């Protein structure tokens, strides 16, 4: 384990929830946590509505690209947070796993994505409190 905890966010397409979560964690942790995201079946681009929802709160995720989930990424992470990818995520002993039950923003309008974005922010805030005591 490095001096920084590493968190991997995983959802099916790595286009919405996991990208928003990675954006929040990067923004709120100020570099104190290494942030990764991936998908079990990555889309070809980040969901434009997720990008817009994050832009509204001053976080730019336009440069992100969906990435395929690899065993190496899971192995190199201290905490693996899944969002609706079910059994597609490999499990390693000694890792911390959480499954966040969140609505999928795919195909939804901005009005539906905002509450998902805000719930992710709350969960990321709690996670930071657990990983960075003090």
Largest CA distance in the chain: 40
Query: At a CB cut-off of 8 Å and minimum separation 6, what does 5 contact?
Result: 33, 34, 78, 79, 131, 132
pLDDT at 133: 79
Q: Tell the CATH superfamily of the 6-128 domain.
A: Response regulator (3.40.50.2300)
Catalytic site includes residue 85: yes
Catalytic site includes residue 9: no
Catalytic site includes residue 89: yes
DSSP string, 75-117: HT-SEEEEES-GGGS---TT-EEEE------TT--HHHHHHHH
Confidence of residue 4 (pLDDT cuts 50, 70, 90): very high
pLDDT at 86: 63
The catalytic position among 54, 85, 113, 131 is 85
> In this predicted model, what pLDDT tens digit does every residue of 88-103 receive, in sequence order?
666 777 889 999 999 9
pLDDT at 89: 66
User: HSE of 82 in the Cβ direction (CA atoms, 13 Å)?
Assistant: 17
Residue 126 reports pLDDT greater than 90: yes
> In this predicted model, what pLDDT tens digit does every residue of 45-69 receive, in sequence order?
999 999 999 999 999 999 999 999 9
The catalytic position among 7, 8, 10, 11 is 11
Mean pLDDT for the stretch of residues 2-8: 88
Q: To which residue do tokens 């190496």 refer?
A: 72
**Percentage with pLDDT > 70 across the chain:** 93
User: Domain ranges in the chain?
Assistant: 6-128
Average pLDDT, the chain: 92
pTM above 0.85, yes or no: yes
117 is written with which tokens? Answer: 């974005």
């Amino acid at each position: 384990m490095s001096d920084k905890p590493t968190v991997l966010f995983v959802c099916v397409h790595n286009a919405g929830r996991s990208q928003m979560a990675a954006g929040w964690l990067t923004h709120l942790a100020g570099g104190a946590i290494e942030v990764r995201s991936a998908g079990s079946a990555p889309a070809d681009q980040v969901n434009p509505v997720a990008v817009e929802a994050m832009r509204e709160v001053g976080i730019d995720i336009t440069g992100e690209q969906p990435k395929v989930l690899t065993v190496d990424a899971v192995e190199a992470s201290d905490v693996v947070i899944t969002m609706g990818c079910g059994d597609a995520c490999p499990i390693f002993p000694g890792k911390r796993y959480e499954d966040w039950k969140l609505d999928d923003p795919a195909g939804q309008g901005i009005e539906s994505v905002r509450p998902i974005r805000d719930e992710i922010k709350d969960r990321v805030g709690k996670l930071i409190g657990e990983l960075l005591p003090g």
